[in-house]
Structure 1
Amino acid sequence: MRNTRSSCVAEASFVSGDAMTTSVSAGKPVTQHFEVRRVPLRQPLEWLDRGWTDLKEIRSAGLAHGALIAIVGAVLLMLGSTHLYLTAAAVTSYLLVGPVMTTGLCELARRREAKEPVGFDESLRGLTRNPDGLVHFGGMLALIAVVWFVLSAVLLQSVLNASVPSLAVALWGGAAEMSAGQLLGYVGCGAILAGTVFAVSVVSVPLIIDRHAGASDAIRASLRATAANLPAMLLWAALIVAITALGFLTLLVGMVIVAPLLGYATWHAYRDLIG
């Protein structure tokens, strides 16, 4: 695994100056600037491969996190199962805050790389490494999720009518009432929000817990990493969507494996993208 990463770094081209510079002004917060690397198009496949290796090596703790994430998703689906707009909003909100739920998994991958003890208890220490950064970043994702929940509810309820009694009826009856334009607008809004969350969270959680970055600095680094590696990031986003869809198609049972796989892979994406 190390040799693969070394070759990737050797091939990578640097986008910004020093690995990290810190500027301090009296009365002003510290701003951190992180070096961003360019990676080959196929590098996301390597991240998944390394994530799978981590999952095999840190099986118990990883699957425990996957089970917790699956349970959270199941609860949200049950709470929103009465109406289509609630279900759509719940599923999307679950995905929008997903990056924060991988904190413990990123900590496990960090510990394995550093040859530190790995276990479920140790993974929880990731939450205490930089709580302020995680809270601020999580709050931003939660705000986006709330905005989407409201937009989703307003749009679907106005089209399908609040009297639609159940998800099944909405899916097989009322959903057909949506025009192509309305459906396109709904999907487009969700895609824009999802794309925004992806761009701001590509490396944010690992950067926050590994280098104690502030939320705003981590977001800026993620945006720069995305912009500098757009083809690879599009592939990475497509892989995340496809793999996550498999988790949902198995009624979230597959999420027990999908979540730790993507969480571990996120750590390796960070290690390749940030110098």
Structure 2
Amino acid sequence: MTMSVYSKAQVIPQPPIQVVKRWLRAGWRDFKANLVYSLCYGIALVLLGWVCIAGLVLSGQGWVLLPLLAGGVLVGPIATVGLYSIASGDTGPAVAKGQIALVGAILMVFALTWIRAATVMFAIVYGLRPFSGFADTLLLMINTPSGWALLISGSLIGGLFASLGFAVSAFSLPMLVDRKIDGFSAMGLSFNATTHNFRLCLCWGSAITALTLLGILTGLLGLAVVFPLLGYSTWHAYAELFHGDAK
């Protein structure tokens, strides 16, 4: 069926949990069918993450690690773009790399703005003090009332950034692999799909957050599986919403 590049997403009436499970099962099938490629892709991302963390610690910028991990949720979708052509089975012409880079740059602005906001909030609560280490700073925050206030307010503000980033990127990136469309239009259609399937996308975003957090808590090792799984699943989410292709 021929579709306009500006065709909007359909509304899926099924229970959100059922739909999300279907997307994850389809993603897991792709993962197993492309096991070596998927693991190499995931391991490469984990190694890159370790290099970035080591660079921050060695340069005395460890204080930014916590907001950076949170901000990573915003730019994480960019890391899975290379998996969409595998999930779609399309080995056709090259994707619109310039438009994908545009979306990536916008997500990076969101992430950097959030990191700056987190830095300012920490300075307001604790003042300008030398960074005493990631563990000590985290203990300071969870052992004081002001720390809990900072964690709660920071989570709320970070949640707003993450929600906006998710809304404009959740389906725009696979769309740029699938269609000849500009980045801003793709982000608009992604935002429209998210708002018209609000409960479903809330459930999908929660699943992404939970799996990503699980991967982070394993010292990033779990992300070697989580990243490819979510990349493949994201393609199937896009395909069902915009093509009606449920698997």
Cα contact 2:10–2:242 (8 A) shared by 1: yes
| Between 99-108 and 48-57, the greater mean CA deviation after superposition | 99-108
Label 1:163 to 1:175 Cα distance change in 2 as closer, same or farther (>3 A).
farther
Matched, 1:172 2:148: no
- Deviations along 1:161-208, one digit per CA (max 9) or x if unpaired, are 422321121122355342544332211111111111111112111100
Correspondence for 1:54: 30
What residue in structure 2 maps to residue 119 of structure 1?
none
Alpha carbons 2:63, 2:133 under 8 Å: kept: no
Structure 1: distance between partners of 2:103 and 2:131: 36
Structure 1 match to 2:205: 237
Which residue does the alignment assign to 2:7? 34
TM score, norm. by length of structure 2: 0.87
Could you say what secondary structure the match of 1:165 adopts?
coil
For structure 2, the 5+ residue unaligned runs are none
| Structure 1 residues 72 and 158: CA distance shift in structure 2, 3 A | farther
Structure 1 residue identity aligned to 2:10: R
Per-residue CA deviation, residues 52-107 of structure 1 (Å, 9 max, x unaligned), is 00000011111111112212222333334456641112212322111111110112
Residues 206-263 of structure 1 show CA distances to partners (whole Å, capped at 9, x for unaligned) of 1001112211111111111111111111111111111111111110111100000000
AA matched with 1:36: A
Query: Are the counterparts in 1 of residues 167 and 194 from structure 2 also a CA contact under 8 Å?
Result: yes
1:102 matched residue in structure 2: 80
- The answer (yes or no) to whether the contact 2:141–2:151 under 8 Å persists in 1 is no
RMSD after superposition: 2.1
Q: What is residue 215 of structure 1 aligned with on the other side?
A: 183
Displacement after TM superposition at 1:33 (Å): 1.6
Alignment check: 8 A CA contact 1:198 1:237 kept = yes
**Relative contact order: is structure 1 or structure 2 higher (C-alpha 8 Å, sep ≥ 6)?**
2
Amino acid at match of 2:98: D
Partner of 1:139: 105
Q: Which amino acid aligns with 2:132?
A: P
- Alpha carbons of 1:142 and 1:101: their partners in 2 closer, same or farther (altered >3 Å)? same
Sequence identity percentage: 28
Task: Look at both structures and tell me which one has the larger radius of gyration over its CA atoms.
Answer: 1
- Count of aligned pairs between the two proteins: 235
Counterpart CA distance in 2 for 1:196 and 1:184 is 19
- TM-score, normalising length: structure 1: 0.79
